[in-house]
Amino acid sequence: MQSGPPLASSSPGNEEDEDDFYWDAAAEAELQAIEAAYAAAKRRRLPDWPSPSAVRGRPNPVTTSGGSPELSWIPSPPAFRGNVKARYQPVMFRGKIVYCRTPSEVEKAARDILCKIETMKASGQVSLGFDLEWRPFPRRGDPPCKVAVMQLCMEKTHCYVMHIIHSGVPPVLKSLLEDSSSVKVGICIDNDARKIFNDYDVHVQPLMDLSNLANAKLGGPPKRWSLASLTEMITCKELPKPSNIRMGNWEAYVLSKQQLQYAATDAYISWHLYEELDLSCQGSA
């Protein structure tokens, strides 16, 4: 996802908002400033953990304004073993990456995901890690670049990377994205949904923004989470964001192994974080 500052809330069908979506140098500069400040703070001190006695995945009692206890989940601090760097091992998707770049390949992948959702939905709503990549800066005078890559992940074993700048969005994939049987999860996912609607006329729904979910579950003052900072908070691991890949050419004829790994990991960690936060919610119910 080429994440940037949150945009004003609007539905994808609101035509007067379509021209508002534009990824420019100012937005990128703001994102880089946020990431730089976060990295500097991390170097200066250890994270401010909400409660040193909290246990991961278990409820923590919080007194509400009415005086009654309310259960909220907070992760436990990592075990310190004298080597701070051990807390920041990089996270990486280690399953099979299914790379699709033709319409028939994308259709087959979408059918596979729909079949899995059909099998799993009896146990409740299925979560689907959802992310997009596109060239962040168009050539001078050109319109904003279209979404080039879509990533979908719903398990540890498979992640689907669809090169839709070449394949387009076939009807089966459109049906999957608009199907309410799976909730699409990610950081700033409303912006991604607007982008894919503007570029391909696909109304992705339902959506769950991990940043909002984390603020609701972790308590304390609301924070503007990035995928990297939330990954570190929940998993005590680092989500690599090399700029040469993140800002690279996602419209290439064939994606590199590094691009595929980067894309798959983003969708996987989105799914994984949702599952962690959702599990904490069930544990405190």
DSSP 14-53: -GGGGGG----HHHHHHHHHHHHHHHHHHHHS----S-TT
DSSP annotation of 69 reads: E
Hey, is 207 helix, strand or coil? strand
Residue 65 CB neighbours (<10 A): 6
Report which residue type is found at 60. Answer: N
pLDDT over 50 at 56, yes or no: no
DSSP 95-152: SEEEEE-SHHHHHHHHHHHHHHHHHHGGGSPEEEEEEEE--SSPPTTSPPPPP-EEEE
Distance CA 171, CA 27 (A): 33
Distance CA 75, CA 81 (A): 18
Distance CA 199, CA 62 (A): 44
Give domain limits for the chain: 84-283
Chosen CATH of 84-283 out of 3.90.76.10, 3.30.70.890, 2.30.29.30, 3.30.420.10: 3.30.420.10
pLDDT over 70 at 127, yes or no: yes
Taking only the tens place, the pLDDT of each residue in 233-276 is 999 999 999 999 999 999 999 999 999 999 999 999 999 999 99
Give the lowest-confidence range in 36-40, 55-59, 117-121, 281-285: 55-59
- pLDDT for 190 equals 96
Residue 27 CB neighbours (<10 A): 16
Distance CA 273, CA 185 (A): 9
The length of the chain, given as a count of residues: 285
Give the lowest-confidence range in 67-71, 177-181, 185-189: 67-71
Per-residue buried b or exposed e for 137-152, using 16+ beta carbons within 10 Å of the residue's own CB: eeeeeeebbbbbbbbb
